[in-house]
């Protein structure tokens, strides 16, 4: 009867969560770690410059992105201190976090996951987005062939928590480089409306102070 009840509870949990269930430790979740997916917890810690742990907690949420603000809040509550400079690895980078830190008047030293690879992609691909010039006066991009991509509209992706502008080329039809530039009928560029916050963080990380921190 005990085994039957345990199986019934596991089946109910499977139906509710649509994922594998560990009947021994129901709170553990399958989390990727070093290319493997195992039952894990996500352990978090906030550490001061002189290596004192000021916050620590465990969660079964695999994403570090959602743990940055709770880490800061717990650290400040534990120490009755306001921390101005926030250092974290790229796993904590998100537009939501950059925006929240800006609102909290904190300085983010948090690299995004594309910071190191984007420069190389830009060098290898002449039609990489970074090789398009932004025309601020007309709110449009100019492609390497000197053709305009005017603003076409806005969209919001709730799953990825993105708020973006869309720019679409109007003269792509007769362009000889279209197959290299786009997989569609016209080149599109999506720009997150908070991208400037990420750009500021990149610049900050490349300063002497940023490198030292």
Tell me the per-residue pLDDT of 10-38, one tens digit each, with 9 for 90 and over: 777 666 655 566 667 778 887 877 778 88
Q: And the tokens for 44?
A: 């978090």
Give the 3-state DSSP-derived string for the chain, with helices as H, strands as E and coil as C.
CHHHHHHHHHHHHHHHHCCCCCCCCCCCEEEEECCEEEEECEEEEEECCCCCEEEEEEECCCCCHHHHHHHHHHHHHHHCCCCCEEECCHHHCCHHHHHHHHHCCCEEECCCCCHHHHHHHHHHCCCCHHHCEEECCCCEEECCCCCEEEEEEEEEECCCCEEEEEEECCCCCCCCCHHHHCCCCCCEEEEECCHHHHHHHHHHHCCHHHHHC
Q: What share of the chain has pLDDT > 70, as a percent?
A: 94
Tell me the per-residue pLDDT of 106-124, one tens digit each, with 9 for 90 and over. Answer: 999 999 998 888 888 999 9
Q: How confident is the model at residue 166 (pLDDT cuts 50, 70, 90)?
A: very high
Half-sphere exposure of 159 (CA within 13 A, CB side): 0
pLDDT recorded at residue 143 = 97
Q: And the tokens for 124?
A: 């290898």
pLDDT recorded at residue 21 = 63
pLDDT recorded at residue 157 = 78
pLDDT recorded at residue 18 = 56
- The angle that helices 195-205 and 95-103 make with each other, rounded to 10 degrees, is 80
Residues listed for the chain: 213
Beta bridge partners of 195: none
Tell me the per-residue pLDDT of 45-55, one tens digit each, with 9 for 90 and over. Answer: 999 999 999 99
Tell me the per-residue pLDDT of 137-163, one tens digit each, with 9 for 90 and over. Answer: 999 999 999 999 999 999 887 776 788
Q: Could you give the dihedral angle defined by the CA atoms of residues 114, 129, 102 and 155, in that order, rounded to the nearest 10 degrees?
A: -110
The residue-averaged pLDDT of 123-144 equals: 95
Q: Are 169 and 152 in contact (CB under 8 A)?
A: no
Mean pLDDT of the chain: 90
Q: What share of the chain has pLDDT > 90, as a percent?
A: 70
The residue-averaged pLDDT of 172-196 equals: 94
What is the Cα–Cα distance from 194 to 165, expressed in whole angstroms? 10
């Amino acid at each position: 009867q005990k085994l039957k009840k345990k199986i019934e509870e596991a089946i109910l949990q499977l139906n509710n969560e649509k994922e594998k269930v560990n009947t021994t430790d129901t709170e553990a979740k399958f989390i990727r770690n070093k290319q493997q997916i195992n039952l894990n917890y996500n352990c978090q810690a906030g550490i001061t410059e002189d290596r004192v742990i000021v916050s620590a907690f465990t969660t079964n949420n695999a994403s570090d992105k959602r743990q940055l603000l709770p880490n800061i809040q717990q650290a400040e509550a534990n120490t009755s201190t306001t921390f101005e400079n926030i250092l974290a690895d790229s796993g904590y980078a998100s537009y939501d976090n950059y925006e929240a830190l800006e609102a909290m008047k904190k300085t983010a030293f948090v690299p995004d996951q594309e910071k190191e690879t984007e420069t190389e992609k830009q060098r290898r691909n002449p039609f990489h987005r970074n090789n398009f010039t932004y025309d601020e006066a007309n709110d449009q991009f100019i492609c390497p062939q000197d053709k305009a991509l005017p603003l076409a509209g806005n969209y919001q992706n709730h799953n990825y928590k993105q708020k973006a502008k869309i720019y679409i080329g109007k003269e792509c039809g007769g362009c000889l480089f279209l197959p290299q530039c786009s997989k569609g009928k016209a080149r599109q560029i999506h720009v997150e409306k908070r991208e400037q916050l990420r750009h500021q963080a990149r610049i900050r990380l490349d300063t002497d102070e940023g490198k030292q921190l």
